[in-house]
Amino acid sequence: MSVAFCKYRASPVPLRITLCPLILRETQEPMSSKKMKRSIEVDTLRGIACVLLVLFHVVGDTPSVGLRIPEGHWLQVVNEALAYVRMPLFSFISGYVYGFRPYQGSPLGFIKGKVRRLLLPLITVGTLFALIQAITPGTNAAVDHWWLLHIEPVGHFWFLEALFIVFLMVLLLEHLGALATGAGFTAVWIVSAMMFIYLHPPNYFAARGAVYLLPFFLGGLACKRFEIGTAAARLLAAAVFIGAATVVMSFPLISGQGGSLPALALGISGVFLLLRSGWRSENLAYVGSFSFAIYLLHVFFTAASRIFFQKFGITDTYVLLMLGVAFGVGGPIVSALVIGRYQGLNLWLLGSNAKIKATAA
């Protein structure tokens, strides 16, 4: 078996493992329309999102985690700035791809699929991560209240919980027909934007994260459902992006990454422009086709590579950065290819009920 990063196939093949909360293909459910083909543009964006996420955890969001880079270092500045588009991009594409296979009127089946796809990996991989983090010397954090495990989100696994809540909200909105027309959709999006800015619930089961993700998810869905992407729309988005970026840079204290209108405007316009840019990269698309596995598993490899190489005397920040990103992307891909060959492991660890046979690329 070989793994070729330079080779991408737009149509599904045995090597491809659809492993992403951005895809959420429920293989056991019948499709009412033709099977959705892979899009190299969308997979390219998934690849970008994965690289940004891995980079974030390698660098660390504060000087006390990750590579422990001092405050004000350009890597810390860039890492913080990318937060305006990093998770919004994941959520936006989730909504966009959901638009290909929206809720079809079977609430129990819909919820069952999301429980399997999102909550099952949360319980298995998320709990394993918490345990390893607790017993491994050199890790940056540990669970404080084990009796609240996953009620209080663990690390980056908050996204799975938050996205599950978003899907429940979308299920209700679809059932009520609130997203069927442009006017109704606009009204719902405005409410979600107001929640983003003003609502700050306790973060049990990632409720705060769900409020954060919802307007971006709905934005992606709107792009697909109403085919938003004209030249005028792109021009308006570019103007909003420039204006919001100017405000964020000029008034950083009132334009935090979450809970402010400039942050929302910057995120929604930025990811919209990325989506409609038509950017195609076979390498990034290949990475993006494993995005769920990368999201779930990358932290095991980024932390392990940092601890391992530092033990052997490698301390250069940029060498550790490149090694961390390489292991954080490559490790989960190899893991997904192995896990995908065993139906039980694939179900319990990656939320997929399909047995995938890896073939030479």
**pLDDT profile of the chain (361 residues), mean per 10:** 41 37 35 58 96 94 84 90 94 96 92 95 94 72 78 92 97 96 97 95 93 97 96 97 93 72 95 94 95 95 90 92 96 96 92 60 34
Asked, for residue 153, whether it belongs to a domain, the answer is yes
Asked, for residue 209, whether it belongs to a domain, the answer is yes
Asked, for residue 275, whether it belongs to a domain, the answer is yes
How much is the pLDDT for 31?
34
Residue 332, judged by CB atoms within 10 A of its CB (0-12, 13-18, 19+), counts as buried
Asked, for residue 19, whether it belongs to a domain, the answer is no
Containing structural domain, residue 318:
40-350
Asked, for residue 1, whether it belongs to a domain, the answer is no
Asked, for residue 18, whether it belongs to a domain, the answer is no
Domain count for the chain, please give it. 1
Asked, for residue 319, whether it belongs to a domain, the answer is yes
How much is the pLDDT for 16?
37
Tell me: the pLDDT tens digits for 277-314? 989 999 999 999 999 999 999 999 998 898 899 888 99
How much is the pLDDT for 66?
84
How much is the pLDDT for 32?
37
Between CA 222 and CA 256 the distance in angstroms is: 25
How much is the pLDDT for 355?
56
